[in-house]
Homo-oligomer: A and B are copies of this chain.
Amino acid sequence: MNEPRTVDFFFDVGSPYSYLAATQLDGLTARTGAAVRWRPFLLGGVFKATGNEMPARVPAKARYMVADLERWASHYDQPFRFPTRFPLNTLRPQRALTAVAMADEGAVRAFALALFRGYWVDDRDISADDEIRSIAHGCDLDGDHVVAATGDPAVKDRLRAETDDAVARGAFGAPTFFLGATMYWGNDRLLLLEQDLAS
């Protein structure tokens, strides 16, 4: 195949494994030539639709997860600090990302990486309008406009539709990748995704 292939990357900035995966996507595109569509969805909506639950519901799993996340961050040589507010209601940042995606899909990547970093490295409360505005501004976006757009019914509808689309294709968690009809769940499946892109 010589045509560039496109990977759908469904993510929620409240998901730590989404953060870890997001840090690896520039490398993935550089090595494989694939394009990545950054598609914000609402993980809470996915859990509700599928009957899945956050892994941290099981105390032993939550304890392991913190160690596992630190290990992956070190493996990737990426900064990571478990935030003081967790879990976070990510409805507002996910709507802000959706608003940006509707205006200019190419602008989502930088804004998402900045939100991820705000939450998973700098311990900022990215559910707050002030933080969303400031992070948007740092990405050369109109922060006031982005925050205002989170109240736009078309933005709310789009975020719901993206979430529904992911669920209809089989998603039950985050991050979730699709290459055509093939689904890859989790940061740890990037390995298999990259193999499939190389084949």
Interface residues of A (CB under 8 A from B): 50-52, 57-61, 63-64, 67-68, 71-72, 75, 167, 170-173, 182-183, 185-186, 188-189, 191-192, 195
Contacts and interface: CB of A to CB of B under 8 A. Distances in A.
A189 B66 CA distance: 14
A93 to B, nearest CB: 25
A178 B62 CA distance: 17
Nearest to A50: B60
B64 A59 contact: no
Query: 8 closest A-B pairs (Cβ-Cβ)?
Result: A60-B172, A188-B188, A50-B60, A52-B58, A61-B172, A51-B58, A58-B172, A71-B192
A60 B192 contact: no
Nearest to A75: B192
B183 A75 contact: no
B64 A172 contact: yes
A15 to B, nearest CB: 16
A116 to B, nearest CB: 22
Contacts of A173: 61
Contact of A52 (B50, B52, B60, B186): B60
